Amino acid sequence: MRRAHRAAAPLAALLALAAPQPAEAAHGAFSFRYTSGGHVRSGVLHHPADKVCIDATGSMGGSGRARAARNTTNRTATLHMSIDCQDDGVVLAPGARRLAEFKTVRFG
């Protein structure tokens, strides 16, 4: 029984290291406008994760394109027209605004 206990400790440590670690996050907020049900709405992403492709309107329960982005995070945001952030995108520096339409955004 003692041997099983000794073998379990290294296994538990290995599993802890293999567990997914939380992604870094931008500090601050990223706000935008979008249309849902014929009404213009405002959306805000608080402390969005770095290196993750985020569907801006989808994160708010909507669909379609967003516009009028304002990046008040401490990270650069790249606005994309594609759903998978695979196009070139437009860079939006911390503190900047942009009126152009976009579908997804990635930070960092």
Question: Mind listing the pLDDT tens digit for each residue in 33-57?
Answer: 999 888 999 999 999 999 999 999 9
Whole-prediction pTM: 0.77
Question: Mind listing the pLDDT tens digit for each residue in 1-12?
Answer: 455 445 544 544
d(Cα 16, Cα 24) in Å, to the nearest integer? 18
Q: Is the pLDDT reported for residue 95 higher than 80?
A: yes
**DSSP-assigned letter for residue 97:** E
The string of DSSP codes covering 38-65 is TEEEEEEEESPBBT--EETTGGGT--S-
Residue that is written with structure tokens 């492709």 in the block: 53
